[in-house]
């Protein structure tokens, strides 16, 4: 089978993770136990997951003019993601997430940095690639006008666009009309369709809206009825990146021409495996392990 080409328009960042017994109060200094840097960002995570699952993946994004930018780009390359459209932005820092793990919980400060430079004009540089892709993916860690423009471009070229509306932010009606697939989790679905009954919303967006429900799986309307496609029981150790793996796997399966329900089972299997490993990218499975799990 020919590998499908997938373009991912999205964020990339470096997570700066410190663990400590105690969370500092305002004005307080505490001693931490460990510090680590981990590449992240929903766009980069989804690109890495799709590449591990066997697609030809291009990242369209921006990094800072700093060493994190070099590390982010090197990590994408190491995972087989093409970085022809990953550019350093002059006088800008890479996106960062500053994470404190303490007292059994995390607190996070996100600085968007170069990710705000993934503008409508910027993605036009990759117009030829977008036109020739089997599927395009985008999330909401880039400016809203970029999501609007990507939806417009993809609909003009007849290329399917998968919008993962994370983090939660309302999506313009015109975008919902133009995209092929929308994949909120339950919280994001509430923000997108607040106040409306989800069964009716699913019925109104048949084979387009897929609401992920954690360990329970994913819900959609297949044109005849509403269906919950169950995930696979696993021992979850870290659910960070479950949604990213789900989206990437769903995109790869659809781009390969798999049927809807089969694609959702493939996505559930990949995402369930991802929660058995630590870190967003750390748990992302290979093609082979997903296929073995589906036998």
Torsion of CA 160, 44, 293, 209, to 10 degrees: -40
The residue among 39 and 184 lying less far from ligand ADP, judged by its C-beta, is 184
Q: Minimum distance from CB of 272 to ligand ADP (Å)?
A: 4
For residue 244, indicate whether it is catalytic.
yes
Q: How far is CA 112 from the centre of its chain?
A: 16
Alpha-carbon distance 235 to 233, whole Å? Answer: 7
**Residue-wise DSSP of 245-294:** HHHHHHHHHHHTT--HHHHHHHHHHHHHHHTTSSSTTTTPPPHHHHHHHH
**Contact (CB, 8 A) for 258 and 266:** yes
Q: Which stretch in 82-90, 92-100, 201-209, 264-272 sits in contact with ligand ADP by CB under 6 A?
A: 264-272
Q: Minimum distance from CB of 214 to ligand ADP (Å)?
A: 4
Q: Minimum distance from CB of 222 to ligand ADP (Å)?
A: 16
Binding map of ligand ADP across residues 216-255, x = CB under 6 A, - = no contact: -xx------------xx-x-x--x--xx--x---------
Q: Which stretch in 95-103, 128-136, 142-150, 210-218 sits in contact with ligand ADP by CB under 6 A?
A: 210-218
Alpha-carbon distance 285 to 178, whole Å? Answer: 31
The residue among 76 and 166 lying less far from ligand ADP, judged by its C-beta, is 166
Q: Which helix H or strand E contains 88, and what residues bound it?
A: strand 82-89
The residue among 76 and 249 lying less far from ligand ADP, judged by its C-beta, is 249
Neighbours of 71 (CB within 10 A): 15
Q: Is 110 in the site for ligand ADP (CB under 6 A)?
A: no
Q: Which stretch in 12-20, 25-33, 48-56, 213-221 sits in contact with ligand ADP by CB under 6 A?
A: 213-221
Q: How far is CA 281 from the centre of its chain?
A: 11
Q: Minimum distance from CB of 127 to ligand ADP (Å)?
A: 29
Residue/partner pairs of 152-157 with CB below 8 Å, 24 or more apart: 152/178, 153/123, 153/124, 153/127, 154/130, 154/178, 154/179, 154/180, 155/179, 157/130, 157/131
Alpha-carbon distance 210 to 223, whole Å? Answer: 13
Q: Which stretch in 111-119, 125-133, 142-150, 268-276 sits in contact with ligand ADP by CB under 6 A?
A: 268-276
The residue among 86 and 271 lying less far from ligand ADP, judged by its C-beta, is 271
Out of 73, 75, 96, 212, the residue judged to bind ligand ADP by CB under 6 A: 212
The backbone torsions φ and ψ at residue 85, rounded to the nearest 5 degrees and listed phi first, read: -110, 30
The residue among 82 and 265 lying less far from ligand ADP, judged by its C-beta, is 265
Q: How many residues bind ligand ADP (CB under 6 A)?
A: 20
**Contact footprint for ligand ADP (CB under 6 A):** 166, 185, 212-215, 217-218, 231-232, 234, 236, 239, 242-243, 246, 268, 271-272, 275
Q: Which residues are catalytic?
A: 244
């Amino acid at each position: 089978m020919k590998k499908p080409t997938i373009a991912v328009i999205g964020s990339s960042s470096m997570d700066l993770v410190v663990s400590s017994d105690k969370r500092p109060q305002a004005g307080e200094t505490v001693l931490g136990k460990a510090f680590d840097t981990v590449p992240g960002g929903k766009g980069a995570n989804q690109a890495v997951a799709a590449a591990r699952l066997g697609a030809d993946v291009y990242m369209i994004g921006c990094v800072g003019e700093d060493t994190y930018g070099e590390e982010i780009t090197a990590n994408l390359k190491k995972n087989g993601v093409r970085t022809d459209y990953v550019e350093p932005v002059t006088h800008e820092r890479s996106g960062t997430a500053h994470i404190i793990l303490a007292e059994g919980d995390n607190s996070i400060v996100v600085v968007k940095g170069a990710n705000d430079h993934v503008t409508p004009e910027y993605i036009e540089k990759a117009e030829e690639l977008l036109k020739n892709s089997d599927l395009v993916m985008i999330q909401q860690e880039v400016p809203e006008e970029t999501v609007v423009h990507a939806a417009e471009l993809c609909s003009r070229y007849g290329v399917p666009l998968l919008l993962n509306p994370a983090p939660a932010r309302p999506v313009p009606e015109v975008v919902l009309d133009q995209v092929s697939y929308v994949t909120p989790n339950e919280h994001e679905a509430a923000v997108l369709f607040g106040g409306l009954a989800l069964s009716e919303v699913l019925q109104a967006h048949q084979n387009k809206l897929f609401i992920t429900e954690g360990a329970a799986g994913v819900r959609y309307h297949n044109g005849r009825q509403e269906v919950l496609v169950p995930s696979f029981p696993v021992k979850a150790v870290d659910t960070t990146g479950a949604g990213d793996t789900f989206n990437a796997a769903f995109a790869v399966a659809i781009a390969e021409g798999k049927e809807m329900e089969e694609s959702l089972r493939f996505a559930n299997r990949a995402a369930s495996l991802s929660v058995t490993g630590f870190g967003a990218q750390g748990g992302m499975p290979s093609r082979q392990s997903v296929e073995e799990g589906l036998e």
